[in-house]
Amino acid sequence: ATRTAPLPSAATTDTGAPKVLSGEDLAAAKAAAKAAGQSAEGKDPLEPLQWDLPAIKADKAHEKSLGSKKVTVAVIDTGVDDTHPDLAPNFDRDASVNCVAGKPDTTDGAWRPSAAESPHGTHVAGEIAAAKNGVGMTGVAPGVKVAGIKVSNPDGFFYTEAVVCGFVWAAEHGVDVTNNSYYTDPWYFNCKNDPDQKALVEAVSRASRYAEKKGAVNVAAAGNENYDLTSDEITDPSSPNDTTPGDRVVDPSECLDIPTQLPGVVTVAATGAKGLKSSFSNYGRGIVDIAAPGGDSTAYQTPDAPATSGLILGTLPGGEWGYMAGTSMASPHVAGVAALIKSTHPHASPALVKALLYAQADATACTDPYDIDGDGKVDAVCEGPKNRNGFYGRGMADALDAVRR
């Protein structure tokens, strides 16, 4: 299941489907940018709508570097439409594959989503590496390569066999960063005291460790239920999600959300346009490693003009662009920053890339009290100092520091 958040806003549907950007939206954005005195020089047409880029200083980073074509980020997801004009210039066909059946299918275009399948992976790919080419939007690392590793079946499930295939493929095809904006179905949390669920944890853990051993930094979304992942117990109402789910109480220290809670994986929480934890983002000191823009309801966090939506802009299949929100959108921002670090330090190991990612993050103090909807009730409790807390981990990812030698 993907990490896209339904929001109390007209910007997305209840299923998390994107709001497609219309021609009227584009014209309004251009007019608003002009009225705000923003120069369009050197910017792609939709960049004024991307409040998320300056939030991590990606706009300033692009003045120094767009990233290296020798670096590839693999989007392990629902598939990527490589024919999109913002993705085609940067697409890595050799590192792309369909792993849905648990074994690699390298048929040309097998990595693309069908018209009936989710645009999620294509949106994520654009956030990472939409080309700076005078068309549409700009990715966090618009000079790197992006690959599509399709692991979601037509019904939208990310099963273990497919996920394992995806990590192994990335490991064996020179991928530098993987983005994982999903949890492995059918269990939101996999409890190690259950033999079957323990086997799923072990399988995905081995595959992700193998990818890291071969040179990949694995980045994953923290989840969208506003769960405190350090609490004594969590009620999971959604598992197993492919049959009949029922409420079950789990201990999150023993029952893991995979791949995001696996050792070595970079766990990413989401922030909104005002830099606060997104209303939906999971959290937990010692679990969340870093934070990045994932969007939030505009009713909760409103961006500055000329941006009009508090959600995140991305590419959509068929040459379109649209808004989505979730930790699904935060994770690719961090994957993009990791790709910029790897571009700056081409010989850096995954351990060094992660160390730099954390050291360069902008420390962000806990939001206390956290009453995101303004109803007078605390919606989540943050614990820890500004450089290692439950909401923001080491802090906000920093793209500008990533390109400094």
Residue 228 tokens read as 């405190």
Residue with tokens 């690719």: 332
Q: Which domain holds residue 226?
A: 19-402
Kindly tell me the burial class for residue 210, based on how many C-beta atoms sit within 10 Å of its own C-beta (0-12, 13-18, 19 or more). Answer: middle
Cα separation, 379 vs 400, whole angstroms:
32
Look at the chain and report how many structural domains it folds into.
Answer: 1
**Confidence (pLDDT) at 18:** 85
Any domain includes 268: yes
Distance (Å) of CA 210 to CA 69, 118, 169, 193, 273: 24, 28, 10, 24, 36
**Confidence (pLDDT) at 32:** 67
Q: For the chain, what is the radius of gyration of the CA atoms?
A: 19
Residue 375 tokens read as 């109803």
What one-letter code names the amino acid at 377?
A: K
**Confidence (pLDDT) at 2:** 86
Any domain includes 13: no
The backbone region for 109, taken as left when phi is positive above 0, alpha when psi lies in -120 to 50, beta otherwise, is left
Q: How far apart are the first and last CA of the chain?
A: 38
Per-residue pLDDT of the chain (405 residues; tens, 9 = 90+): 888 876 654 333 333 578 788 777 767 766 766 666 555 667 898 999 999 999 999 999 999 999 999 999 999 999 999 999 999 999 999 999 999 999 999 999 999 999 999 999 999 999 999 999 999 999 999 999 999 999 999 999 999 999 999 999 999 999 999 999 999 999 999 999 999 999 999 999 999 999 999 999 999 999 999 999 999 999 999 999 999 999 999 999 999 999 999 999 999 999 999 999 999 999 999 999 999 999 999 999 999 988 889 999 999 999 999 999 999 999 999 999 999 999 999 999 999 999 999 999 999 999 999 999 999 999 999 999 999 999 999 999 999 999 998
Any domain includes 1: no
Any domain includes 7: no
Residue with tokens 């930790």: 327
pLDDT digits (tens, 9 = 90+) for 124-135: 999 999 999 999
What one-letter code names the amino acid at 383?
A: E
Q: What is the largest CA-CA distance in the chain?
A: 61
Per DSSP, 47 falls in state G
Cα separation, 148 vs 104, whole angstroms:
12
Any domain includes 319: yes
Any domain includes 134: yes
Contact 221, 293 (CB under 8 A): no
232 by DSSP, 3-state: which?
Answer: coil
Any domain includes 122: yes
Any domain includes 14: no
pLDDT digits (tens, 9 = 90+) for 250-290: 999 999 999 999 999 999 999 999 999 999 999 999 999 99
Where residue 274 sits, what CATH number does that domain have? Answer: 3.40.50.200
Say what the pTM is: 0.95
